[in-house]
Amino acid sequence: MKRIFFMGLLLAATLEVYPQPAWEGKFEQLGTVLPTPNQYRTASGTPGQAYWQQKVDYKIQVFLDDVNQRINGEAGVTYFNKSPHELSYIWFQLDQNMRKADSDTRTTETGIMPKAMSPLDFQKLKKQDTDVDGFNIQWVRSASGVDLSYTINKTMMRVDLPKPLQPGQSIALWFAWNYKLNNRVIDRSARSGYEYFPEDGNYLYT
């Protein structure tokens, strides 16, 4: 009983030393918590009468280069415009570009310098895996084989369409790309990568 009483006093003292700040959001917007119903979303969050969602079908062929620890791939993409708007370009996500030297992932990294560091820690600090540099887009083409213009902005790629894609229409695109896998001993920041086992002379991929 004394122990419970002591813990209660300790909790009360802690709350007194660190008072909780008063809530100041009396007039805050609740758009993200309780959105106003409209033609696209009902009050319950279910789709409304005018709800739409884009559709994309993929056919992907990927090959692992075990000699150079590289992924080579081609993809056929059929994009269906389900929106009520015409589209003159399409955005694609290039997540692997987070490994580029100028990526926001690298430039916004923070950390501390420990008192003691192992040789492996120094490797990670120096980012010696410099040959890992995100996607290398070889080409982007239409279904008829015409090269399409594209612009890469860090982890996003904008593909300009040969003509506006009207609502209800679809377009087929083809891509070819490759990228170097990361050495997980140095860089364990993602699921992909490899680890080399010199005793067996082979690589393990994840």
Please list the ranges in the chain whose pLDDT falls under 50.
5, 128
For residues 169 and 171, give the distance between their C-alpha atoms in angstroms, rounded to a whole number.
7
CB distance 150 to 157 below 8 Å: yes
Distances (CA, A) of 12 to 1, 19, 21, 23, 58: 17, 10, 16, 20, 59
**Quick one: 111 exposed, middle or buried, by C-beta within 10 A (0-12, 13-18, 19+)?**
exposed
Cβ within 8 Å of residue 108, ≥6 positions away: none
Contacting residues for 38 by C-beta, under 8 A, at least 6 apart:
48
Q: Does domain 51-110+120-183 bear CATH number 2.60.40.1730? A: yes
pLDDT at position 110 is 73
Q: What is the pTM of this model?
A: 0.73
What does the domain layout of the chain look like in residue ranges? 51-110+120-183
Backbone torsions φ then ψ of 153, nearest 5 degrees: -120, 90
Look at residue 129 in the predicted model and tell me its pLDDT.
52
Question: Residue 18's pLDDT is what?
Answer: 57
21-35 tens-digit pLDDT: 777 777 777 767 777
Give the pLDDT of residue 43.
Answer: 85
The pair of three-digit structure tokens given for residue 32, joined into one six-digit string: 């993200």
Give the per-residue pLDDT at 108. 75
AA identity, residue 73:
G
- Residues contacting 166, CB < 8 A, separation 6+: 81, 86
3-state secondary structure of 164: strand
Residues 6+ apart with CB under 8 A from 73: 60, 61, 62, 63, 176, 177, 178
In the chain the first and final C-alpha atoms are separated, in Å, by 54
Q: Which two tokens stand for residue 53?
A: 């969602």
